[in-house]
Amino acid sequence: MGNVIKTGLVLSGGGAKGAYHVGVVKALAEYGIEPDCIAGASIGALNGSILASSHSMRQGYERLNRVWRVLSQQSPIKVQTKKFFIPAYLILLANLGLRLNSPQYVAYRGMKGLLRSFNLEPQFIKEIEEKLHGKEGILDNAPLTALLNQYLTWQDLQQGIPLYVSAYRSRGGMLDIASCIAAELDLKDTAPSEFFCLQQLSEQDWKSALMASAALPILYESQKIGQHTYTDGGQGGWKTAQGNTPITPLVQSGCNLVVVSHLSEGSFWNRHDFPNTTVVEIRPQKNISRDGITDLLAFNPDRIDDWIEQGYEDTVACIGTIKSALDNRHRLMTTIQQQQNAQREMLDSSERMQSAMARIRRP
């Protein structure tokens, strides 16, 4: 164990509910809690990029707040494929970053029943492919790219704190979605997501990694990083939310205290999988969902204000736990330091004694 407290912040994925993170950051800033590293998935990766490139949590909150005010007035959702029925596609989105817990979903545990309940019959899939007209994504990346270009630069990111984003190596949009459905049915888990430290990527690849982390299959265009193609990081390790709650790179980088901001009331992610790390979870204390599936794309002022306030209140409620964890770590590190100092003093004393004895023995 090191002698220094290294604090990490994890921002999970969940579409427009990412406004919740803004409230979390506001509360952490007010209480003077500054992370040394950040990790994010999907919308959490985008929020994390603004935060990581800021000089402090206070500035990070102010910049995030401005970004989300823009999003509430100018939704980043822009359809580039004509005559596509977006509400039908929301059913597919439900499997990525938003788990279904409805009685209707639970009732259909068989693959055939599941496909029928989601209207995912072969004819519907064929219609999707036809309406895409050869395009990889239904939605246009341009609004989101323009927003990032306005608030994020490579230079600021390079000078900021380390940011890790999760991305899923894609086999193709429909295959990726099918894999998530199979994992939800306990047939086979999805492959783990991969983690990229943006500061370690080239200037050419860092934005691709950031966009890939939030590229929901079929909805947004996949991104090339190196020799491989990647999409939304929340798909990886579906059964344990390995990709959607990317704590692993922070633990591997030496963070011994990690604050995790969730965008769901519950998940199979388990902090006890990281026994050597103090993990403090910030979870919604009341239902974060407003209209179920459509929350993913609900970029409107009322929802965003509501989620920001909810994130702030939930974090304030957890501040005592976070402060206690910090205090306990400080006491532990202080004790370790004192023990090491005492050992050094004993060694120094022993060396001085041996030196004195050697001089006495000399003829």
User: Would you state the structure tokens that stand for residue 57, as one six-digit string?
Assistant: 């949590």
Say which of 170, 222, 232, 295 is annotated catalytic: 232
Q: How far apart are CA 7 and CA 167, in angstroms?
A: 23
**DSSP 8-state assignment for residue 273:** G
Rounded to an integer, what distance in angstroms lies between the CA atom of residue 212 and that of residue 217?
A: 10
Instruction: For 132-148, give one letter per residue: b (16+ CB within 10 A) or e.
Output: beeebbbbbbebbeebb
- Kindly compute the dihedral angle of the four CA atoms of residues 75, 86, 14, 288, in this order, to the nearest 10 degrees: 90
Cite the beta strand spans of the chain per DSSP E: 7-11, 37-40, 163-169, 194-197, 223-225, 228-232, 257-261, 278-282
> Could you give the CA distance from residue 187 to residue 111 in angstroms, rounded to a whole number?
10
Q: Is 232 assigned a catalytic role?
A: yes
Can you tell me the distance from the alpha carbon of 330 to that of 334, in angstroms, rounded to the nearest whole number?
Answer: 6
Between CA 33 and CA 25 the distance in angstroms is 9
Is 193 among the catalytic positions?
no
Sign of CA dihedral 146, 151, 155, 159: negative
From 42, 222, 261, 264, active-site residue: 42
Name the residues annotated as catalytic. 42, 232
